[in-house]
Structures are given as structure tokens and as C-alpha cells.
Amino acid sequence: MDITFLGGLEVDTVIGIYDWERKIRQTIVLDIEMACDIRKAAETDDINYALDYKTVSNRIVEFVEQSEFLLVETLIERIAEILLQEFNIPWVRIVLNKRGAISRAKDVGIIIERGVEPE
């Protein structure tokens, strides 16, 4: 199986459990790997057979910008659901980084894998 990825996708959103977090937008950073089969796209040189990462990126950015979840756990699960269902991919790995969430740590976040792992 092949992997299409988006790295370092930065999106501003309302996220967090504290009152002050509900009043501001914070930047989260996403790294997303998506299983796909690129052979038909490569054979035909036709974007219609590829996982269009621009379309994927636009959809995720739109969703995250409009969301207002308390937990990053909820946000990352919803992103995975969108990718698996709307883009018909069998497997996804997402790293969600909420930089600055802990004062002494540069990075903090969650990594999930959903779907059937690629071969």
C-alpha cells in the first residue's frame, strides 16, 4: 500500500478545557499519513484516481477551524472519521501537536492510527 501524507499542517481553532482557552484560538499542527493505492493514478496520470491532498487539506482545515472541542482526543477522532469515511481510505495515522500546552515542553499531543493498517 502507498502513503499520501500532509506534514506540518497548521490550523487555528478553539480547543481546551480552561475558560481562557475557550476565548482564544490556538494553533494545532497536524501530520497525517493516509493509505492509498497510487498505481491507477500513476498509470493514467489522472488526478481523479489519486488521493487529492489539496482537497483533503482544505476539508480538514475547514473542519478544524470551525470546531470548538474541549479535548484534543475528540478533535483527532473526528478528523480520522472524516478521512476514513469521506475519502474512502482504509487506514490513517494522525499526529496532533498542541504546541505550548505544557510550559516546559516544546511539543505535546496525540498520535492515533485508525482503519486497517497498510501492508
pLDDT tens digits, residue range 24-34? 999 999 999 99
Of 47, 35, 29, nearest in space to 5 by CA:
35
Catalytic residue among 23, 40, 54, 98: 98
Burial of 119 (0-12, 13-18, 19+ CB in 10 A): exposed
CATH topology of domain 2-115: GTP Cyclohydrolase I, domain 2 (3.30.1130)
- Prediction pTM value: 0.93
Question: For residue 119, what pLDDT band results from cuts at 50, 70 and 90?
Answer: low
23 is catalytic: no
